[in-house]
Structure 1
């Protein structure tokens, strides 16, 4: 198993969140992009304003690393127009994967049609430009029943509106890694939540994000059926080390 081809190496902190200057934070992003290039990871996942930088570095290195970014991150409660505008700009800047945060709070309020509309429109935009689309459902904000329902909603929208050959381009993704949970409670993927997602997403693939910190955990996720793993410790995982990252 080439585990590197499952790993979406991730750095999503703003300068303020990292307690760095903008210049210092950009340097961290550059280092993460270079690490992804050097280690031939599947993808580098960064904020939208760093997509053009990643594109330039990857092209100059003649690398096959792909570029992902997050849309309406991390709360997912922007307007549909906001989501589509941010995604459109990322496409112009050379992104390969669009990881939208679904409005999970709207879903919890019962605003089902609005959530279906954003899933349809966001997916349509991505697929029209031959991009991979992922929908982050934020499992830590949902109970098990809601995880099942929201995963199934995304699946059903895709099946109803897009062709079978495009199903493998639309993922359901577990987490942003930025959701605030009570002390000690996981805010990312767990084996229990991933099993629920896998049982209800098929034929759409699943991405486990947040909480995968060792090579063994990554392998177990892949054996369950996960197709991608989002982590800020891709190198440690690939090298068989235990990551100290919280994402």
Structure 2
């Protein structure tokens, strides 16, 4: 698949999720997102209002990470956090599933959690992304989560937070795609820092890339062309 620098930029969620990020770093993040035409800035909920104001009129979305990075809060907390983030200007919600309940085989909990958060996003016109954190899951657990997603239909399922013991892999992307097909889009995130890897994920069917190296990736493709 041939991808232009503009198309690549439009697939990138430009990411700043570090605990010690400064307001100046968020300003730089938004400036870069506007300049390069990235799909979204991926941030924690607190700086959503700042980034929304700075990106006004740019077409770049603001995305909030919910239950991040562990997913170990109640459904009610994740729903409330999603609602507040959207009220503050978030256009997209990336939330982490409850891995404990998945490993316990409590698939009804996972489905309820997903339905509630995806429902909030639909009601408010925000995109929804469900983070599996695949590095902690067996292949069967990944399939179970993807099967629920195929039923509930979030906008995306996502490989990783970037804060776990491992990030995106082609094997995981192919497994996820084999379950959801074209019913749900797949986002790869975690450790994507080289152009060769980004293009391989796109070839495997990924339509979003979560990375803090977006500027580097687009510049590398421009230089290659």
Q: Which runs of 5+ in 2 are unaligned?
A: none
- Report the Cα distance in structure 2 between the residues aligned to 1:102 and 1:41, rounded to whole angstroms: 26
SS at 1:8's partner residue?
strand
SS at 2:62's partner residue?
strand
Q: Which runs of 5+ in 1 are unaligned?
A: 19-24, 159-168, 182-186, 242-247
- Report the Cα distance in structure 2 between the residues aligned to 1:141 and 1:26, rounded to whole angstroms: 32
Q: 2:13 aligns with which of 8, 19, 22?
A: 8
Aligned to 1:237: 217
Aligned to 2:169: 190
SS at 2:65's partner residue?
strand
- Report the Cα distance in structure 1 between the residues aligned to 2:180 and 2:66, rounded to whole angstroms: 21
TM-score of the pair, normalised by structure 1 = 0.84
The answer on 1:31 being equivalent to 2:25 is no
Q: 1:54 aligns with which of 26, 51, 61?
A: 51
- Report the Cα distance in structure 2 between the residues aligned to 1:92 and 1:73, rounded to whole angstroms: 18
SS at 1:212's partner residue?
coil
CA drift at 1:38: 1.4
Q: 2:101 aligns with which of 69, 83, 106?
A: 106
CA drift at 1:157: 2.9
Aligned to 1:136: 131
- Report the Cα distance in structure 1 between the residues aligned to 2:162 and 2:190, rounded to whole angstroms: 5
SS at 1:153's partner residue?
helix
Report how many aligned residue pairs link the two structures. 215
Which runs of structure 2 are paired with 1:63-212 in the superposition (5 Å)? 63-158=58-153, 170-179=155-164, 181=165, 187-202=166-181, 203-212=183-192
Q: Deviations over 1:186-218 (max 9, x none)?
A: x11011111101111221110001122112211
Question: Following superposition, which runs of at least 4 residues in structure 1 exceed 4 angstroms of deviation?
Answer: none
SS at 1:38's partner residue?
helix
Determine if contact 1:172/1:201 at 8 Å carries over to the other structure. Answer: no
SS at 1:48's partner residue?
coil
Determine if contact 1:173/1:209 at 8 Å carries over to the other structure. Answer: yes
Q: Deviations over 1:107-137 (max 9, x none)?
A: 1112221111100111111011111100000
CA drift at 1:85: 0.6
Determine if contact 1:7/1:230 at 8 Å carries over to the other structure. Answer: yes
- Report the Cα distance in structure 2 between the residues aligned to 1:208 and 1:46, rounded to whole angstroms: 16
CA drift at 1:37: 1.1
CA drift at 1:32: 1.1
CA drift at 1:35: 1.1
Determine if contact 1:100/1:135 at 8 Å carries over to the other structure. Answer: yes
SS at 2:13's partner residue?
strand
SS at 1:206's partner residue?
strand
